[in-house]
Amino acid sequence: MTYPDRIEVLRWLYGRLKPHRFLHTLGVEQLAVQLASRHHLSVEMASSAALLHDCAKNMSMEELLKICDKAGVDLKRNQDYPQLLHAFAAPIVAQKQFGPLPEELLNAIRFHTTGHAHMTPMEKLIFSADYAEPGREPFPGLMEARDLILQDLNRGTLLILENTVQYLQNKNQNIHFYTLEALQSLRQEIQSEGRDNVQ
Ligand SMILES: [Fe+2]
Ligand SMILES: [Fe+2]
């Protein structure tokens, strides 16, 4: 599989993202690459997915709605979560620019904010790298999450999902159904991992 040329992607992003978003993207890539080599996943895919994950972030709501509607995203079910549309739109925007990309990479981009049930390792990696990238302003639990995802991708991703749900609950904000499904599914996965280890 060949991925889009890194410099070409950076040049494209530089022209379409706000400076702080561009720097965040580089931070996500740095951690994603580190996680991929630590957990024996494709470094090239992690780099491309990280670079492209927020490529639709600075588009207008009107454009995002149009793209998501055309892609079959259930806009009614997602109407309380307009801030998530950039993730659902990103696979379409990225492929329009760089041609067909692997489904695994596209799903890692699509679910980078919400997670979802039965996440693949690459999806967990991008979700976690987005949360814990080195450029984030420090907040409670960040260092612990960063350390844990490097040691154990499943437990680290679970901690991030739990922190995210807690944060939203404290702010009285709705929690996306995909995030709740991700939390439940990953808890089960870790439980069955424990059972397999005992046997
Ligand atoms: Fe994002
Ligand atoms: Fe991001």
What is the structure's pLDDT at 1? 77
How close is the Cα of 66 to the center of ligand 2, in Å? 21
Distance in Å, CA 197 to ligand 1 centroid: 35
- CA of 113 relative to ligand 1 center, distance in Å: 6
The pLDDT of residue 195: 80
**What's the pLDDT at 21?**
98
The 10s digit of each residue's pLDDT in 75-103 is 999 999 999 999 999 999 999 999 999 99
Confidence of residue 63 (pLDDT cuts 50, 70, 90): very high
6-198: which CATH topology? Answer: Hypothetical protein af1432 (1.10.3210)
Arithmetic mean of pLDDT, 14-18: 97
Q: What are phi and psi of 165, to 5 degrees?
A: -65, -45
**Do 105 and 134 form a contact (C-beta atoms < 8 A)?**
no
Distance (Å) from CA 61 to ligand 2 centroid: 17
Q: Domain residues of the chain, as ranges?
A: 6-198
Residue 197's pLDDT band, with cuts at 50, 70 and 90, is: confident
Q: What is the mean pLDDT of the chain?
A: 96
Distances (CA, A) of 190 to 11, 35, 187: 40, 19, 5
pLDDT in tens, 100-122: 999 999 999 999 999 999 999 99
Averaged over 143-159, what is the pLDDT?
Answer: 98
Q: What percent of the chain has pLDDT over 90?
A: 94
Alpha-helix residue ranges (DSSP H) falling in 55-176 = 61-70, 85-98, 103-110, 121-132, 142-151, 153-170
Which ligand number lies closest to the CA of residue 126? Answer: 2
**What is the model's pLDDT at position 199?**
59
Give residue 52 CA to ligand 1 midpoint distance, Å. 10
Assigned token pair, 36: 């991929």
Mean pLDDT for 162-191 is: 96
